[in-house]
Structure 1
Amino acid sequence: MKTIDQLMNLDKAKIMFDLFRDEIPEFLSYTQAIADKVANDKEELLANWTNPFLSYHQWLQISEQVNSAIKKYGKNLTKSGSLFTDQLFDGYLAIFSNHCLEQYSINKAQSPKFKLAIDLFYLPVQPINNRNYSYIVLELHGVPEHAVIATDEDGNNRVFDSRADADAEASDCQEGLIVEI
């Protein structure tokens, strides 16, 4: 068996399918509802879009592909863990499907253990103590698709222990975005 750090999207989705099979039909309906919202609320989403890594149009395309797979395979997705994972969690589709899993666990999941499993597999580890965070700076170069991590003279990614240092680096960029790690 793989350790939790070795699990990939397909592995995590398969475990969720196996452990919470009763949740899968409602999760699929919820995912379709989110995909419909992405398609139907274009103006609102575009006006409030803040994701530096994906454009709204990329998000729309991924959501449409996931929605199409759910429509195509229907109830078969609730019967086969392999089909479920291959159609919804392979490659870029996992970005949207994982988002839907997280939102489903917060808003709709029937089992409290489902939410715990999502927290375990998908959400970042929250610090137990008050440790200091580190920061990286992304240079967006005008569009999120061209974002790169700020590097030093040798091409190594720069990691800042101080928010003030990260702010200074970001102000030197054409369009800098600070990310807490």
Structure 2
Amino acid sequence: MQPLKALNNVQKARLLHALLMHEIPAFLIYTQQLCTYMRENPDEVRKVWVNQLFGVDFWFGLADEADRKIKRYGKQLEKSSAVFSDQLFDGYGALYLNHCLTTYTEQGKHNDPKFKIAVELLFNP
């Protein structure tokens, strides 16, 4: 296994899924809820979008892409570490999914306390 510093987002997501697969269905539901909120409340999102690295329209695009992939791959994302990581954590989409992981654990939506520790370790060094 490679050192943690050497892992890319896809590898980190694959490891997270493999270790805590039972948390993934609820996380995917939360991610879709966040996507829906952004789509239904764009003005609210725009109001709080200040001094961000990307423009809000780019962020909306990342959310829409994540939502499309979750709908397209459905149960495959829950069952397969490879599908989960390759589809959701490759490219710029990893920025949005990292945000979803962080807010999911910060809000205490996860059931297994180890999930938050794993997210911190892998995605928020």
| TM-score where L is the length of structure 1 | 0.66
2:88 paired with 1:99? no
Structure 1 residues 118 and 43, CA gap change in structure 2 (3 angstroms): same
Structure with the bigger RCO (C-alpha within 8 Å, sep 6+) is 2
Larger radius of gyration: 1
Shift of 1:97: 0.7
Instruction: Write the distance in 2 (CA, Å) between the matches of 1:81 and 1:123.
Output: 20
Instruction: Write the distance in 2 (CA, Å) between the matches of 1:119 and 1:88.
Output: 18
Which residue of structure 2 lines up, in the alignment, with residue 59 of structure 1? 59
Instruction: Write the distance in 2 (CA, Å) between the matches of 1:29 and 1:52.
Output: 25
- Runs of 4+ aligned residues of structure 1 deviating over 6 Å after TM superposition are none
2:22 paired with 1:22? yes
Instruction: Write the distance in 2 (CA, Å) between the matches of 1:14 and 1:105.
Output: 18
Shift of 1:91: 0.2
SS of 1:69's equivalent in the other structure is helix
RMSD: 1.0
Which residue of structure 1 lines up, in the alignment, with residue 72 of structure 2? 72
Give the aligned residue type for 1:95: L
2:9 paired with 1:9? yes
Unaligned segments of structure 1, at least 5 residues: 125-181
Q: Residues 6-56 of structure 1, C-alpha deviation per residue, up to 9 Å, x if partnerless?
A: 011001100110011000100000000011111111111111211431111
Unaligned segments of structure 2, at least 5 residues: none
Shift of 1:73: 0.8
**Going by fraction, where is strand more abundant, 1 or 2?**
1
Instruction: Write the distance in 2 (CA, Å) between the matches of 1:55 and 1:117.
Output: 29
Identity of aligned residues (%): 39
| Mapping 1:38-49, distance limit 5 Å | 38-49=38-49
SS of 2:71's equivalent in the other structure is helix
State the aligned residue count. 124
Give the aligned residue type for 2:50: T
Instruction: Write the distance in 2 (CA, Å) between the matches of 1:21 and 1:88.
Output: 15
| TM-score where L is the length of structure 2 | 0.95
